[in-house]
A and B are shown apart, each in its own frame.
Chain A
Amino acid sequence: MASHDIKPLKLGPVTSWIDERFPVFTYVYEHLAQYRTPKNLSYFWSFGSLAGIALVIQIITGIFLAMHYTPHADHAFDSVEHIMRDVNYGWLIRYIHAVGASMFFVVVYAHIARGLFFGSYKKPREIVWFFGIFIFLAMMATAFMGYVLPWGQMSFWGATVITNLFSAIPLVGESIVTWLWGGYSVDNPTLNRFFALHYLLPFIIVGLVLIHIIALHVPGSGNPSGVEVKTEKDTIPFHPYYTVKDMVGLGFFLIIFAYFVFFKPNALGHPDNYIPANPLVTPAHIVPEWYFLPFYAILRAIPDKLGGVIAMFASILILFVLPWLDKSETKSGYYRPIFKWFYVAFIVNFIILGYLGAQPAEGIYVIASRIATIFYFAYFLFILPTINKYEKPLPMPKSIDEHFKAKH
């Protein structure tokens, strides 16, 4: 397969002078162009690069918004309206940023779901998986603090409810909440520090993403067959094959993105956030942004304050032990006849949790939330550790090359 071989890096007099002193060209060549990638990757493998692009979009739009935004309790709401009405293209930049947050979560959830099905968390990619969880946690913190900045009713009460989660910690809980607020309630000091941290965290995410990629490039990318790369024949260089494939995915992604920005910019938000924050009136129905709903449902499913908070954090932190909970050595869900149905049930259950998180905390919704929460944890703690005992994996291809040829 000589045509798939990589062209050697050729540098001119200036570029080689630079490369000898600071090997930037060699580095890009080794990690982008020459990076050997399994040749059977499907579009499920596009979400990682989409997430990276979504992050860049958020950072660029965010920097421009920060030039017009005022992080003060008396001015924040008005400055957002100023961006929307007075700043040239301010409406566009803000809608890209607001919709972009949702789009970022869409691709990251798809990316995580891909990982859960294809066993991306399994040996030897545990560290890749860990840094993925760190990115997810940092994203959640960033998104939460960003939603507070417009200082509408949902901003204020969302901030109140979420910071109050820490008051569930025995003994020091109340002091921690006062420390987080910088006062006795969510107020100007809170808004000011959330702005500072909302600006900082995306750059920390960039750092985490680099670690995520560096750790990935040690064993190399996984692939739909779950079989590891054995020979050069199994691979193709990342560039141009996957740069092109990722660009196709990006095209579809941007069409959906633009649809929301231009036609449904507020569909993923909440109308109450266009009411200025009022510390004396709680909106009748507080809901977090859609991407937090499944975890919010878990929080509310437990009829005890501390218990609910522990369950909510545990529902994410459990991902850290997933590489050891899943006892099956078969990576790809395609070759696991029982697992794949539980996996589908898990995804459906997660969506149901999201639906329940948006409903009022009463009656049938509470009962349904409890059942869905139990299933969520059972998947990790009971189903994954035990199914390999009675599951017989289907015959797997001997190599990626064989898997590829069977399909083409």
Chain B
Amino acid sequence: MSKTKDKVVDPKKRDFMVLTASAVAGVGAAATAVPFIHSMNPAKDVQALASIEVDISGLEPGDEMKVKWRGKPVFIKRRTSDELKEAREVELSDLPDPETDDQRVKKGKEEYLVVLGVCTHLGCVPLGKGSGEYGAWFCPCHGSHYDISGRIRKGPAPKNLLVPEYSFVSDKVIKIG
């Protein structure tokens, strides 16, 4: 006992050991949290349901349809020439999230508007069929108005209705996702 007591111990060395050991243990403990946290992200089967094909042959000008993709509604609207004109004539400076109508549709298929039917405010499904102050979509939850191009015009939503990734497989079929 007395022998060890007589030895000079450098407290700094001891602190260094404690500090490094604690740091390594801390990083290790934190790393084990990763699989648990990641387990809550979308599972593989959920990710696999990524794309759908939609037959749009029944859509007449002025019609809109709603399909479910990744658990969310997608609005597909075939716009009349008047509506298309209206969408193109809007000044970009009037838009909270400036985008031209052409940026939101496929070239040659400008009459078809495909947007996610999810309000960019808090995720409600906006009402369609010409509702709201801009005659297109209106979200009743917190009062966001969207125009015929699905762009936010008034209300708390910060962004335009999202355009999902999609393509025309043929004239009558589009693939979403």
**Partner-B contacts on A (CB < 8 A):** 157, 160-161, 163-165, 167, 178-187, 189, 193, 279-282, 284-286, 300, 302-306, 308, 360-362
Residue of A nearest to B141 (CB): A286
Interface-facing stretch out of B5-13, B54-62, B67-75? B67-75
Nearest chain B CB to A311 CB, angstrom units? 12
B156–A183 contact, CB under 8 A? no
The 6 listed contacts between A and B (C-beta, < 8 Å) are A161-B141, A179-B40, A184-B70, A279-B71, A279-B72, A282-B139
A189–B43 contact, CB under 8 A? yes
Interface-facing stretch out of B16-24, B83-91, B106-114, B116-124? B116-124
Number of B interface residues in the complex (CB < 8 A): 28
Contacts of A284 in B (CB 8 A): 127, 140
A184–B42 contact, CB under 8 A? yes
Contact of B42 (CB < 8 Å), options: A160, A183, A281, A303? A183
Nearest chain A CB to B159 CB, angstrom units? 9
Q: Closest 3 CB pairs between A and B?
A: A185-B71, A184-B70, A164-B123
Nearest chain A CB to B61 CB, angstrom units? 23
B156–A160 contact, CB under 8 A? no
A308–B156 contact, CB under 8 A? yes
Distance, CA A304 to CA B117, complexed state (A): 20
**Partner-A contacts on B (CB < 8 A):** 37, 40-43, 46, 66, 68, 70-73, 117, 121-127, 139-143, 156-158
Residue of B nearest to A279 (CB): B71
B72–A184 contact, CB under 8 A? yes
Contacts of A305 in B (CB 8 A): 121-122, 156-158
A165–B122 contact, CB under 8 A? yes
Q: With A182-B46, A183-B42 in contact, do A280 and B156 touch (Cβ < 8 Å)?
A: no
Q: With A279-B72, A286-B124 in contact, do A178 and B41 touch (Cβ < 8 Å)?
A: yes
A303–B141 contact, CB under 8 A? no
Contacts of A306 in B (CB 8 A): 158
Contacts of B117 in A (CB 8 A): 280
A185–B72 contact, CB under 8 A? yes
Nearest chain A CB to B24 CB, angstrom units? 28
Distance, CA A264 to CA B73, complexed state (A): 36
Distance, CA A12 to CA B158, complexed state (A): 71
B73–A182 contact, CB under 8 A? no
Distance, CA A300 to CA B68, complexed state (A): 28
**8 additional contacts, CB 8 Å, given A185-B70, A300-B156?**
A157-B141, A183-B42, A183-B46, A184-B46, A184-B72, A279-B68, A279-B73, A280-B117
Contact of B123 (CB < 8 Å), options: A161, A187, A304? A161
Contacts of A286 in B (CB 8 A): 124, 140-141
Contacts of A186 in B (CB 8 A): 71
Contacts of A281 in B (CB 8 A): 125
User: Which residue of A160, A186, A360 has the most chain B CB atoms within 10 A of its CB atom?
Assistant: A160
Distance, CA A181 to CA B47, complexed state (A): 13
B121–A280 contact, CB under 8 A? no
B68–A280 contact, CB under 8 A? yes
A160–B122 contact, CB under 8 A? yes
Nearest chain B CB to A273 CB, angstrom units? 16
Residue of A nearest to B72 (CB): A185
Contacts of B123 in A (CB 8 A): 160-161, 163-164, 167
Contacts of A360 in B (CB 8 A): 140, 143
Nearest chain B CB to A237 CB, angstrom units? 45
